Every structure is written in structure tokens, then in C-alpha cells.
A and B are shown apart, each in its own frame.
Chain A
Amino acid sequence: MRKTVDEINRKITEGSAVVVTAEEMKNIVEELGTKEAAKEVDVVTTGTFGAMCSSGVFFNFGHSDPPIKMQKVWLNDVEAYTGVAAVDAYLGVTQISDKIGMEYGGAHVIEDFVRGKEVELKATAYGTDCYPRKELVTEITLEDVNQAEMVNPRNAYQRYKAATNSSDRILKTYMGTLLPNFGNVTFAGTGEISPLNNDPEYRTIGIGTKIFLCGAEGYVIGEGTQHSPPFGTLMVKGNLKEMDAEYMRACVFPGYGVSLYIGIGIPIPILDEEMARFTAVRDRDIETEILDYGIPRRGRPVVRKVNYEELKSGSVEINGEEVRVSPLSSYLVARKIMFNLKERIEKGEFLLTEPVSRIPVKSEFKPMRQKEIVVVKNLMSGAIKIPLRTSIVDASKLIIEKGVNHLPVVDEQDRLKGIVTSWDIAKAVAKGGAESVDDIMTTRVITVYPEDPIEFAAEKLEKYRISALPVVDSKKKVLGLLTSEDISKLIARRG
């Protein structure tokens, strides 16, 4: 038996549609089987509430007198993009305040607008014959602007890679704070109640699908950026003026920046048995991976495979140890959305739409085209290592014989203990008194790993104003030396 969206809408209007949440649907299918469940249930509501950085709002501020063609514009000191028409601008949620930095950003401005607050609008321009004004400062509220259309290039991630950290320092990331030595795991997404997981082939969620977007009626306007099934994403829009602050939250991930928690709910019509089967999906069927954010590269190593049931259990095993897990999305608010949407449909206030066009079920997510990725080990040279307690005389001989400027000092296990430069030796000889390199070496040595990108090494050389970096492994064993000359050669080659 097949149902159409029209038939379901008729039932909704008559008040006879059976609407259940994604949570309830799992049990219904378990009890009745997919065939009966498909007959019984008309709509399943889903929900998610998480930080979605790829979001923002298009504003049209109306024209001032005399008019201005904005060249730069700020809302509460957060810059918006106005490289479009005179008084149109796009405010992205992650843009941070020019005045106070990461504490306040685009997301906060948007939340302030929705909460009815006044926002300072500041603009500058070069002035033209048709738009003579060059400066503008005023206060506006959401009511004052012509349009405030939220348009989010990438929302509602179907699933997301979880995060952990193998390094020995605390990492502050968009996946929250990651404790050293696999101290914790964080994950995003709501798993089995999340919209796209309940329609994994995007049969009913497509361009034109009406959705719940932060309390307003919004629409799916296409596949999201980086859409890469089963890590699907959606591009969505909705009217900011109709949104409810309860379903959006500006947030700050310390050390990373600003983002906006966005609430999305999508109703899924149960057209046939297949849709009943899809909406019965369980957390244990939804797989993802835990990635190691301790490696600062695009290709972050996979620590292990994991499913959402394990993630939601509160701890997962890594290398034989129980590691605690933090969700980052709010399941509580996601559920609220799911129930709110159910209620709206039951009351006949929210009708379903059929997509006018499908979004791709297959798609590739390409990495950025970059010149060439050069890592430290491609450029480093062999290091002339000396043992602890080498005499100053022997060290100076080595420097002259080998024509080098840096000598890493190592212990019996070849582990880095310090470094001496030709300058240190020259100074020691001039001053006298010092016997062995132990007395003059620098012990707090700045090092790099062989897999570090060369740009990263170059930054370190500049930041610490040094001319060479010993290359070490995780046990501090010296593998080579990277000098600023090695890097200059690369630049010359690229030039």
C-alpha cells in the first residue's frame, strides 16, 4: 500500500493523521513490523539541536537618507558581508566582534535580534552620485529591517566524526575541549532521531521540503556544502522574524570561536513500507569513527569505529581503557523540537510538502587543491648529535669540520637533552670557564615532528626567532634537523 503526501495532508487537515516522533516509531515498528507500521503511521517527526557553524542571515536594512551603498557594515561591531547590493548584507554566525573578539559574534547578534534587542548598525562607504552617504551609525531592531532571512549553507549533519586527542596537551576545538592522552571523547548529532538518518536515501527530504527551523517554518533549499552521504547535509532557509529564541543559542567554544546552536525538525511522510523501515533506524545502526585531533593534519587518523549507541552510553573503550564521552548536541532540545513539530502537525498547523527535486544520494567530498603538501621529513637534513658532557673543544671542532651551526645534545638513549649553536660555543670560548656543552646548552628546545607541515615549522622558527629545529619522534629521539636554510631552498624552488 502506498500513500501520497497529498493524502497525508488531507488527513492532517481533517485531524485524523497519525503523527509520532522518531523515538516512538522505533517501538511501533518493533511491535507491529514495517508493513503494519506503514499502514498505521502517517508522519514521523525528527529533531536535532547542535552547533552549526555554516549558518547566517541575509538582511536588507532599507535605505537611509541620503542613501548609502554600504562597502563595509557592522552589527554590534561584528562585520557582515556586503559585497552585494547597497543595503543587503550577510552576517555569518562565526564572525567575531572587532572590539571584544571571541566573546561575542555573529551568532550573538542574531540571537539578540530574535530576543527583540536593539542592535547597533554601522556602515562605511566610498560614496557615489547615486549613493552619496559615506558613513552611517544607527540602532535597529528586527522589526525595522525589511528582510532577515536565515540562509544556512550547511546544517543538519546526518552523522559526524567523533573526536579524541592522543597528544600531551589540552586541545580546544569546535568539538569542545579535548583532554590529553585520550582523556575524553566528544561527539555531535542526535543519532536515531536526527532528520537525515530517518530518510537515508533522501526520498522525502529534498529541495522544497518544509521544515521546522528554530521555531519558524523553513525550507530545504538544496544539498548542504560538503554533502557526502552517509554524512549528508542540508542547505536551509527560514524567516528570522518568525524564529523563537528557545530553539537557537549563540555559543562560544573556548579557544575556537563562536557558533550558533540551531534547532531543526523535519517531518517524514510514511509513504510505504520502506519509509517505515528507514524511520525504525536505531543508534546501533548508525556508524561513525573517532578521529584523533592530536594530529594537526587534514587526514586525522581514525582511532576506532563506533556507533551512536556506544557514544550515547557515556563511555567508549580506547586502547583497553574506558574513556568518558560528552555529547555536544542537546538531546533535550532536539526532543522538544520533535514533540513540538508533532503537535503542530496534529493541530493541522503544519502541512507537509513534496520535494520538487531530489538531493544527491552519492557525492564526493574533495579536499582543497593545494600547491604541494611538504612535511618536515621531506626537507630535514641529518643532525650531527653529540652526547652529554662533550667538551667545548670537541664541540667546536665538530662545528668547523662538519660546517654546521647546530649540535643537538642527546643522552644514551639518543633522546634530546639540549642544543648548542656555534654562537654558544664562540661565546663560551671567549668568556672561558665552561668545560662541557652541558654548561652552555639550551635545554628548553623547540622541536617539530617529521609529519608536521612545513608551514607549521616555519611559523615556529619565526615565532621563537631561531634558525633550526631538531626533528624528534614521540619519545624525543632525534631524527634530524630542519634549518631555516632548508626552508628557504623550498621557497626558492616554489617561487
Chain B
Amino acid sequence: MMLHLRFDSKTVKDPVISQTTLEKGTLINIIRGSVGAREGELIVEIDDARADEIIEYIESKGVVVTRIHEKIAKDDEICMHCGACISICPVEVFKIRDFRVEAEYDRCIRCGICIGVCPVKALELPTI
């Protein structure tokens, strides 16, 4: 499962991710991040089976946690099934089935690279 973490001016200085990893003995995969002097944002992937307790722990450190359910969204009214996105996606979300380009949304890691590749802007990462 993916989480969106928001750090404020205090929590941004704390090693929250390392603490969580050590304390909970779990692996955390950082997908994307932007950390400044006074605030920060991270998108991380955690073990689905232990999601609740991990989230509880991170929240206890003062970090605002939002679960990300949304993956890449393909607007099928706009998509013309050209396939330009297929070879770009690092985790092979797009496949041709029955001449149509279909997206296996679950695999998406929200890297965003496909968005700039679609010639008709059929792809979007819903904001969280």
C-alpha cells in the first residue's frame, strides 16, 4: 500500500522513516519525496498486511498520513489506444489486449512519466 506523508517544521527534522523501520522491523520503500527546511512530503510503500500498525506508529510521531488508493487514471473517452505509453512505464502498467491499450492500475507506482508521453493527454495522476 502507498502512503502520503506530510511533515511539518518540527517532524521534518526527525528520522521518522528510520525509526519506523527499526521499531517495527518492516521495510519501507520511498517512492517520491520533496523535503524542504520547514516541511516535507513523502510517498512511501509499506507492507499491506501490517498497514494499520505502521500507520498508527508514523502518526504517533506527529506525521500526517493519508492512504493513497489512487493510481494512474486513463480517460477512455480520450485514449485512442496508440500504445505510446506502453514501453515508457517502468512497471508495465499498460498492455494491449484485444487491440485496446488497457491499464493494470494496481501496479502503478505514480512515477508520472507516462503523463508527458501520451500525445492526447489521456493520462492523469489524481491529486491527493
Shortest Cβ distance from residue B43 to the other chain A in the assembled complex, whole angstroms: 22
Cross-chain contact A253 with B82 (CB below 8 angstroms): no
Shortest Cβ distance from residue A186 to the other chain B in the assembled complex, whole angstroms: 7
B116, closest chain A residue (CB)? A254
Q: Is A333 an interface residue (CB 8 A)?
A: yes
Q: Is A341 an interface residue (CB 8 A)?
A: no
Q: Is B81 an interface residue (CB 8 A)?
A: yes
Cross-chain contact B81 with A325 (CB below 8 angstroms): no
Q: Is A26 an interface residue (CB 8 A)?
A: no
**A330 and B88 in contact (CB under 8 A), knowing A252-B119, A253-B119, A314-B96?**
no
Q: Is A184 an interface residue (CB 8 A)?
A: yes
Shortest Cβ distance from residue A162 to the other chain B in the assembled complex, whole angstroms: 11
Cα–Cα, bound, A332→B88 (Å): 20
Contact of A251 among B83, B85, B99, B120 (CB under 8 A): B120
B120 — which chain A residues lie within 8 A by C-beta? 249-252
Shortest Cβ distance from residue B112 to the other chain A in the assembled complex, whole angstroms: 13
Cross-chain contact A330 with B80 (CB below 8 angstroms): yes
Cα–Cα, bound, A131→B55 (Å): 75
Cα–Cα, bound, A314→B89 (Å): 13
Cross-chain contact A328 with B84 (CB below 8 angstroms): yes
Cross-chain contact B80 with A333 (CB below 8 angstroms): yes
Cα–Cα, bound, A335→B80 (Å): 12
Q: Is B87 an interface residue (CB 8 A)?
A: yes
Cross-chain contact B119 with A251 (CB below 8 angstroms): yes
Residues of B79-110 contacting chain A, CB below 8 A: 80-88, 92, 96, 99-100
A164, closest chain B residue (CB)? B87
Q: Is B117 an interface residue (CB 8 A)?
A: yes
Shortest Cβ distance from residue A340 to the other chain B in the assembled complex, whole angstroms: 15
B95, closest chain A residue (CB)? A314
A51, closest chain B residue (CB)? B119
Residues of A410-458 contacting chain B, CB below 8 A: none
Per-residue B-contact encoding for A39-52, CB less than 8 Å = 1, 0 else: 00000000001010
B80 — which chain A residues lie within 8 A by C-beta? 49, 249, 261, 330, 332-333
B92, closest chain A residue (CB)? A324
Per-residue B-contact encoding for A173-185, CB less than 8 Å = 1, 0 else: 0001101000111
B119 — which chain A residues lie within 8 A by C-beta? 51, 176, 251-253, 259, 261
A259 — which chain B residues lie within 8 A by C-beta? 119
Cross-chain contact A184 with B99 (CB below 8 angstroms): no
Q: Is A329 an interface residue (CB 8 A)?
A: yes
**A176 and B84 in contact (CB under 8 A), knowing A254-B116, A254-B117?**
yes
A246, closest chain B residue (CB)? B80
Contact residues of B: prevailing secondary structure: loop
Cα–Cα, bound, A323→B56 (Å): 42
Cross-chain contact A177 with B81 (CB below 8 angstroms): no
**A330 and B116 in contact (CB under 8 A), knowing A179-B88, A335-B99?**
no
A177 — which chain B residues lie within 8 A by C-beta? 84, 88, 116-117
Shortest Cβ distance from residue B87 to the other chain A in the assembled complex, whole angstroms: 4
A330 — which chain B residues lie within 8 A by C-beta? 80-83
Per-residue B-contact encoding for A252-282, CB less than 8 Å = 1, 0 else: 1110000101000000000000000000000
Shortest Cβ distance from residue B93 to the other chain A in the assembled complex, whole angstroms: 12
Contact residues of A: prevailing secondary structure: strand
Shortest Cβ distance from residue B85 to the other chain A in the assembled complex, whole angstroms: 7
**A324 and B87 in contact (CB under 8 A), knowing A329-B82, A330-B82, A331-B81?**
yes
A183 — which chain B residues lie within 8 A by C-beta? 87
A152 — which chain B residues lie within 8 A by C-beta? none
B86 — which chain A residues lie within 8 A by C-beta? 314, 324-327
Cα–Cα, bound, A254→B81 (Å): 17
A335 — which chain B residues lie within 8 A by C-beta? 99
Residue among B84, B86, B117 with max Cβ neighbours from chain A (10 Å)? B84
A258, closest chain B residue (CB)? B119
Residues of A223-263 contacting chain B, CB below 8 A: 249-254, 259, 261
Contact of B100 among A261, A314, A326, A332 (CB under 8 A): A332
Shortest Cβ distance from residue A293 to the other chain B in the assembled complex, whole angstroms: 14
B88, closest chain A residue (CB)? A177
A253 — which chain B residues lie within 8 A by C-beta? 119
Cα–Cα, bound, A252→B92 (Å): 23
Shortest Cβ distance from residue B77 to the other chain A in the assembled complex, whole angstroms: 12
Shortest Cβ distance from residue A144 to the other chain B in the assembled complex, whole angstroms: 27
Cα–Cα, bound, A156→B82 (Å): 16
Cα–Cα, bound, A249→B80 (Å): 8
Contact of A328 among B82, B92, B116, B121 (CB under 8 A): B82
B116 — which chain A residues lie within 8 A by C-beta? 177, 254
Cα–Cα, bound, A82→B58 (Å): 65
Shortest Cβ distance from residue B1 to the other chain A in the assembled complex, whole angstroms: 27
Shortest Cβ distance from residue B101 to the other chain A in the assembled complex, whole angstroms: 8
A328 — which chain B residues lie within 8 A by C-beta? 82-84
B82, closest chain A residue (CB)? A330
Residues of A184-218 contacting chain B, CB below 8 A: 184-186
A253, closest chain B residue (CB)? B119
Given contacts A184-B88, A326-B83, 16 further A-B contacts (CB under 8 A): A49-B80, A176-B119, A183-B87, A186-B87, A249-B120, A314-B86, A314-B96, A323-B87, A324-B92, A325-B87, A326-B85, A326-B86, A327-B82, A327-B86, A330-B81, A331-B96
Q: List 6 tightest A-B contacts by C-beta distance, closest first.
A: A251-B119, A184-B87, A326-B87, A324-B87, A327-B83, A332-B81
Some 17 contacts from A to B, beta carbons below 8 A apart, are: A177-B117, A183-B87, A186-B87, A250-B120, A252-B119, A252-B120, A252-B121, A259-B119, A261-B119, A323-B87, A328-B83, A330-B81, A331-B99, A332-B81, A332-B99, A332-B100, A335-B99
